[in-house]
């Protein structure tokens, strides 16, 4: 039986300025992917130079020439699927630029994409405040996300099911595949700037509490709250993410 190939699609913009762990993200998927397509909105903060410094022939950088639109929640999905459409592999692993794939998930993904077609509903850990606490399940960010599917299939950015029935019919439970979302553990100033852009893109404006909080040096956890207690995390972080976390002052 011919082995199925796996690629990864990533959307990226101003990764250095916004303090994304995009280099760790890419390095975390290279061991199992034959190709990694990065859809890069032109950036002047050194993001492109850092991508080129990885020096791996599997990485393909494609320019996504787009301004961040206003009040249109589809823009992220269009961006991520622009990268997916440029993969030449049988399967697509979709990753956000502030996520890292755990090395314990490598073989689980590779085993499941062989044989009949499948799409994988994966577990995503959304960390909040520090590496040992997570956003309560069901609030703010999806924790069960469809992230691996045949490359021909449209995939969403953050929710379990894509449009249409194709991937839904193929979906299997793969919550032992773990994606670590570190977007809320970035440097505070980078978080606040990116949060303003993101909220404006989805709603046309942003929470007025963000400006005074960023000027006063307040933690975003005092600005953005959840109606349920944070979840405890007792697992092990990906090896490739440890240096990034320690550099931001977290104790592992």
Going by the DSSP 8-state scheme, the letter that residue 58 receives in this structure is: T
Say what the pTM is: 0.90
Give residues with Cβ within 8 angstroms of 57, minimum separation 6. none
pLDDT in tens, 214-235: 776 666 666 677 777 889 999 9
Task: Please state the rounded mean pLDDT for residues 59-85.
Answer: 81
Q: 235-252 pLDDT, tens per residue?
A: 999 999 999 999 999 999
CATH number assigned to the domain covering 6-183: 3.90.550.10
Residue 182: pLDDT band with limits 50, 70, 90: very high
């Amino acid at each position: 039986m011919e082995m199925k190939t796996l690629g990864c699609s990533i959307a990226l913009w101003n990764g250095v300025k916004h303090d994304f762990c995009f280099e760790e993200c890419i390095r975390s998927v290279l061991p199992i992917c034959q190709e990694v397509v990065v859809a890069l909105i032109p950036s002047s903060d050194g993001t492109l130079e850092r991508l080129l410094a990885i020096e791996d022939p599997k990485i393909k950088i494609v320019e996504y020439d787009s301004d961040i639109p206003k009040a249109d929640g589809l823009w992220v999905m269009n961006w991520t699927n622009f990268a997916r459409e440029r993969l030449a592999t049988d399967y697509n692993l979709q990753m956000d630029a502030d996520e890292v794939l755990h090395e314990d998930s490598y073989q689980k993904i590779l085993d499941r994409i062989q044989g009949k077609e499948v799409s994988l509903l994966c577990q995503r850990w959304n960390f909040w405040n520090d590496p040992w606490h997570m956003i309560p399940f069901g609030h703010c960010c999806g924790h069960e996300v469809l992230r691996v599917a045949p490359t021909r299939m449209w995939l969403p950015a953050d929710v379990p099911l894509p449009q249409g029935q194709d991937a839904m019919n193929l979906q299997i439970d793969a919550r032992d595949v773990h994606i670590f979302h570190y977007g809320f553990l970035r440097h505070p100033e980078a978080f606040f700037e990116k949060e303003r852009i993101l909220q404006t893109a989805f709603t046309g404006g942003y929470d007025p509490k963000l400006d005074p909080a960023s000027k006063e040096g307040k933690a975003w956890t005092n600005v953005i709250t959840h109606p349920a207690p944070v979840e405890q995390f007792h697992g092990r972080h990906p090896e490739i993410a440890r240096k990034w976390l320690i550099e931001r002052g977290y104790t592992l």
